[in-house]
Amino acid sequence: MMTHKAVAVITGGSSGIGAATARLFASRGYAVAILDVNEERGRKMADAISSDVGSARFFACDVADEKAVDAAAASVEKELGLAEILVTSAGLIPNTESVMDMDLEAHDRMWRVNYFGTIHACRSFGRQMIRLNRGAIVTLGSINSLAPMPLPAYNPGKLAVARLTQLLAVELGRHNIRVNSVGPTYVMTETLQSRVDAGLRDLKKIMSVHALDTLPDPDDIALAIGFLCSADARTITGVLLPVDSGWHAAVSYKTYAGGVPWKE
C-alpha cells in the first residue's frame, strides 16, 4: 500500500523565513507546498529543496486573492493530499512612513496581503485540517504585534494577525487543530540586508535595543515554527512566541533615561 507524506503548506515560501521553513519541513519528511506570487523564485526554491533535502512543489498564488488561494488549496489536495501544517509567511514589509502622508493604495494592498492573505490561507487550508481532524497553523506575527512602530499599515496589521490567531485557536481547537504565531524581531534576511545596505535600517540602532548581540536568521524562526507545529507543543495554542533576541525585555530597559547600570 502506498503511504502518503504529511503535507505542509508554506505561503511566501519562495524566500526568507518561508523558504527556511519550507526547507525545514521537507527535511523532516513532509511533502511541502510552496505558495507564492514569485513564480520564478518559487520554482527554483522547490527544485533546490527537492534535489537537496526532501520533497517540495510550487503553486503560484496571490494570497490577497481569496479565489486564488482556494484554487491553490484544491491543487495541493489533488497533487499532495490534505494539508496538516500551514505556515502563513507571505507578506510585504514596508519602510517608515506617517499615517497622515501614507499612500492609501499601498496601505490597502498591505492589509490585503498581510492580514486578508492570512485569513484566506487559514480558511482554505483550515477546512482541509477539519476534514483530517488534526493540524497545526503558525501565523507570522512580529515585534510589531507587541508595540507601536511608525509602519501604519504593517504595525496594526500584525496586531490584528495576533488576535486572529487567538480567535482561530479557539474555533479550531475542537477539531484538534492548534493555531499559534511567531513574533520575530528584525530577521537577517536578504530583504533586511538590502535595506541596511541602502541606509534604510540602522543596524547599530537596532542592536542597541536587544538583550543579545545577535539577530535571528531565517533558520531560527523556522525552528521555532517547527517546534510550535510538533508534538512537543501539543498543548500550546493561541500564543504569540517572540523570537526576538530579547527585544521585548530590552527596548524600554535600554532606553531608560537614567542609563543602564554598566558602561557601554
Ligand X SMILES: NC(=O)c1ccc[n+]([C@@H]2O[C@H](COP(=O)([O-])OP(=O)(O)OC[C@H]3O[C@@H](n4cnc5c(N)ncnc54)[C@H](O)[C@@H]3O)[C@@H](O)[C@H]2O)c1
Of 56, 57, 16, 85, which Cα lies nearest the Cα of 225? 85
* Whole-number Å distance between alpha carbons of 119 and 109: 14
Q: Can you spell out the DSSP letters for 20-85?
A: HHHHHHHHTT-EEEEEES-HHHHHHHHHHHHHHTSEEEEEE--TT-HHHHHHHHHHHHHHT-SEEE
The reply to whether 92 sits near ligand X by the rule CB under 6 A is yes
Selected binder of ligand X within 133, 191, 214, 255 (CB under 6 A) = 191
Task: Determine the interface stretch with ligand X among 6-14, 94-102, 194-202, 234-242 (rule: CB under 6 A).
Answer: 6-14
Selected catalytic residue, list 30, 115, 154, 186:
154
The reply to whether 244 sits near ligand X by the rule CB under 6 A is no
**Contact predicate 35/11, CB 8 Å:** yes
Told to judge if 154 belongs to the known catalytic residues of this protein, a careful annotator would answer yes
The reply to whether 189 sits near ligand X by the rule CB under 6 A is yes
Closest approach of Cβ 134 to ligand X, in Å?
25
Q: Which C-beta is closer to ligand X: that of 166 or that of 176?
A: 166
Closest approach of Cβ 235 to ligand X, in Å?
25
**Contact predicate 23/47, CB 8 Å:** no
Task: Determine the interface stretch with ligand X among 99-107, 171-179, 182-190, 228-236 (rule: CB under 6 A).
Answer: 182-190
The reply to whether 220 sits near ligand X by the rule CB under 6 A is no
**Contact predicate 214/245, CB 8 Å:** yes
* Whole-number Å distance between alpha carbons of 89 and 181: 11
Within 42-81, the residues that bind ligand X by CB under 6 A are 61-64
Q: Sign of the CA dihedral 12, 137, 126, 144?
A: negative
CA distances from 189 to 26, 108, 131 (A): 20, 25, 35
The reply to whether 113 sits near ligand X by the rule CB under 6 A is yes
Q: Which C-beta is closer to ligand X: that of 66 or that of 171?
A: 66
Q: Sign of the CA dihedral 53, 18, 130, 121?
A: negative
Q: Residue 116 is placed in which grid cell?
A: 486578508
Q: Which C-beta is closer to ligand X: that of 84 or that of 244?
A: 244
Q: How many residues bind ligand X (CB under 6 A)?
A: 29
Selected binder of ligand X within 126, 135, 184, 226 (CB under 6 A) = 184
The reply to whether 18 sits near ligand X by the rule CB under 6 A is yes
Q: Which C-beta is closer to ligand X: that of 90 or that of 239?
A: 90
- Residues labelled catalytic: 154
Binding site for ligand X (CB under 6 A): 11-12, 14-18, 36-38, 61-64, 89-93, 113, 117, 140, 142, 184, 186-187, 189, 191-192
